[in-house]
Amino acid sequence: MFQTDGLASLFLSRALLTAIVSLAVCQPLLAVAEDWPQFRGLNCTGISTSSKPLPEKFSPTEHLRWSAKVGEGVGGAVVTAGRVFVSGMTGSETVSLFAFDALSGKKLWQRDWPTGPLAAVHATNSQASSTPAADADRVYFYFSTLGLLTVDAKTGSDVWQKKLPTPFFVFKWGPGMSPVLYRDLVLFCQDDDLEPVFYAFDKKTGAERWRDDRLDMAVNYSHPVINSVNGRDEIIVAGTGSVIGYDPATGKRLWFAKVLLRNIKTTPVCLDGVVYISLQSGGIANQWLASVDRAEKTGNNDNKLDRAEIQAFVGKQPVPEAFFKRTFGRGDINNDGFLEGRELDLAFLHPDNFAGATFTSLGDAAAEQFILAVRGGGQGDVTASHLLWKHKTKNTDHIVSPFVADGRMFLLKEGGITTVFDLKNGEPLRGPKRIGNGGGYFASPVAGDGKIYLASDNGNVIVLKNSPNYEELSVNDLGESIVATPAIADGTLFVRTRTQLMGFGH
């Protein structure tokens, strides 16, 4: 749904350069160093390996190379082979994919697709919420009612399309997942309220190589990432209760660690065989009561739920009968047609996946927050054997992914609150510190040229020095809300605001 990322530079410290080199060796993604081929760049780390300088101060009138109207949306831009791609809603039922020359901003092509009727989504989200993925030959783009579309990167002409089930979200968070690339595969994970599935498709043909039906998952928004350990690549996907390591060749689950909470919207970062995660999640039972039972127009505040109340909350879109059959079938123990108390947990969490933040007491919907590190390379249940450290904290965000580099985990949360932790043990290196002028944050940090860029919902992009103290260098007002994670390539910072794509450089 929402997204976050990072950068690196001409004057990188030796430590950061070492980290990036090891990252590149560990992640065989077959992308050019200057490219930003998917959500949050190479392996979703938010780090650019470009050696070109990037601007510290910029605005719509300063260091702006070019800008273009690209419709309404919150999916980020990607850059490969000198072309930048981004999507947007150009009509109430029309989604468009744009291609520009990365240096000049010249529009190369635009594709428009009718979407058909669309379910309502949260105001912070957008129907155009997915970040494309791209290589030199093709662009891979997901849209909820169209499935996975693949077009020629040079011309925008059709290559292949894979129809997928339209996702269903009771809480109207809406779709927000993006395809990511690994060798000759397009990976796409859609953990929704009805049919959570993890797919792997052939990049050239769209043929399904394998899938994992993740029916033990609830709604999650964490992207697949690649972890390399002991000479083995594994695909890491975080979800309800567990982080899972997959075999890239077969899609079989190699290992799992029951260390997570009910849902996750952040994406892990892998470095030197270790998976680093920050997350925040509320209790599922309390979430349902707070959102549905206490809804201003449709709730009745009786501390329980029935089918009619859920349908009234969802609105015009019919709740699929399969959803009711599954949830009430396993949750309504006394068969009275209502879900209450512990029944809510039974209904909305898989019986094998009772992670943290379950039902405690009425009205208690406080979110649990963790940072943790899991060593990859295991087999089976590695909960006890491979968890390196896990700490409760009050400083994680439920959407913004961590920035991991130089032996530190840097976190950003609502209001511009930042914290720093030691990768070795997860202990705090610095307490909470506010940056910029507050605001909401949905984009993840991205970094390059020794700078970290933090884009805010209030339209500001904060620039920090990529150093142990993370000194604030500038606050740059772009004049329009930013939810998408920026991209970095070829000495340009690409920022996707609600309606524009802007390229900043020297």
Give the pLDDT confidence of 427-485 residue by residue, as tens digits: 999 999 999 988 899 999 999 999 999 999 999 999 999 999 999 999 999 999 999 99
- Return the ∠ at Cα 500 (arms to 497 and 501), rounded to 5°: 90
Q: Could you identify the residue written with the tokens 């092509």?
A: 109
Dump the DSSP string for 339-389.
EETHHHHHHHS-TT---SS---STT--PPEEEEEEEE----EE-HHHHEEE
Compute the distance between CA of residue 345 and CA of residue 172 in angstroms, rounded to an integer. 20
Which amino acid appears at position 400 of this protein?
V
pLDDT band at residue 33, thresholds of 50, 70 and 90?
A: low
Buried b / exposed e along 16-39 (16+ C-beta atoms within 10 A): beebbeebbebbebebbebbbbbb
Q: Which 8-state DSSP code applies to residue 480?
A: S
Dump the DSSP string for 232-247.
EEEEEEE-SS-EEEE-
Phi/psi for 14 (5° steps) reads: -60, -35
Of 39-48, 151-160, 341-350, 444-453, which range is least confident? Answer: 341-350
- Return the ∠ at Cα 36 (arms to 30 and 39), rounded to 5°: 100
- Return the ∠ at Cα 372 (arms to 371 and 375), rounded to 5°: 160
The two three-digit tokens of residue 441, written as one number: 């944050």
Look at residue 463 in the predicted model and tell me its pLDDT. 98
The two three-digit tokens of residue 420, written as one number: 């720093």
* Residues 35-62 pLDDT 10s: 999 999 999 999 998 889 999 999 999 9
Q: Is 460:436 a contact under the CB 8 Å cutoff?
A: yes
Compute the distance between CA of residue 141 and CA of residue 134 in angstroms, rounded to an integer. 9
Considering Cα of 30, then 228, then 423, then 266, what sign does the dihedral take?
Answer: positive
* Residues 57-69 pLDDT 10s: 999 999 999 999 9
- Closest Cα partner for 56 from 493, 501, 498, 502? 493
Cα 495 to the center of its chain, rounded Å? 17
Look at residue 392 in the predicted model and tell me its pLDDT. 93
Q: Is 246:254 a contact under the CB 8 Å cutoff?
A: yes
Q: Is 227:244 a contact under the CB 8 Å cutoff?
A: no
Q: Does position 331 have pLDDT exceeding 50, yes or no?
A: yes
Q: Is 292:300 a contact under the CB 8 Å cutoff?
A: no
Compute the distance between CA of residue 65 and CA of residue 494 in angstroms, rounded to an integer. 10
From residue 293, give the alpha-carbon distance in Å to each of 239, 339, 349, 367: 26, 11, 18, 19
Look at residue 9 in the predicted model and tell me its pLDDT. 34
Q: Does position 329 have pLDDT exceeding 60, yes or no?
A: yes
3-state secondary structure of 272: coil
Q: Which residues contact 62 (CB under 8 A, 6 or more apart)?
A: none
Look at residue 178 in the predicted model and tell me its pLDDT. 97
Q: Does position 505 have pLDDT exceeding 60, yes or no?
A: yes
pLDDT band at residue 366, thresholds of 50, 70 and 90?
A: low
Compute the distance between CA of residue 58 and CA of residue 54 in angstroms, rounded to an integer. 10
Compute the distance between CA of residue 320 and CA of residue 374 in angstroms, rounded to an integer. 37
Look at residue 22 in the predicted model and tell me its pLDDT. 40
* Residues 202-227 pLDDT 10s: 999 999 999 999 999 989 999 999 99
Look at residue 26 in the predicted model and tell me its pLDDT. 41
* Residues 244-302 pLDDT 10s: 999 999 999 999 999 998 889 999 999 999 999 999 987 777 778 888 999 888 999 99
Look at residue 365 in the predicted model and tell me its pLDDT. 45
> Looking at residues 307-327, what average pLDDT do you find?
92
Model confidence, pTM: 0.90
Task: Return the half-sphere exposure (C-beta side, CA atoms, 13 A cut-off) of residue 143.
Answer: 25
Number of H helices, E strands in the chain: 6, 35
Q: Is 148:195 a contact under the CB 8 Å cutoff?
A: no
Percentage of the chain surpassing pLDDT 90? 77
Look at residue 361 in the predicted model and tell me its pLDDT. 40
Look at residue 200 in the predicted model and tell me its pLDDT. 98
Q: Which residues contact 499 (CB under 8 A, 6 or more apart)?
A: 69, 70, 71, 72, 88, 480
* Residues 118-150 pLDDT 10s: 998 988 899 999 999 999 999 999 999 999 999
Q: Which 8-state DSSP code applies to residue 416?
A: G
Task: Return the half-sphere exposure (C-beta side, CA atoms, 13 A cut-off) of residue 373.
Answer: 19
- Bridge-based pairing of strands 94-101 and 107-114 is antiparallel
Q: Does position 171 have pLDDT exceeding 90, yes or no?
A: no
Considering Cα of 71, then 74, then 75, then 77, what sign does the dihedral take?
Answer: positive
The number of beta carbons lying within 10 Å of the beta carbon of residue 321 is 9
Q: Could you identify the residue written with the tokens 């909305």?
A: 348
Region of 30 on the Ramachandran plot (φ > 0 left; ψ -120 to 50 alpha; else beta): left
* Continuous H helices in 7-123: 14-26
- Closest Cα partner for 332 from 314, 321, 350, 347? 347
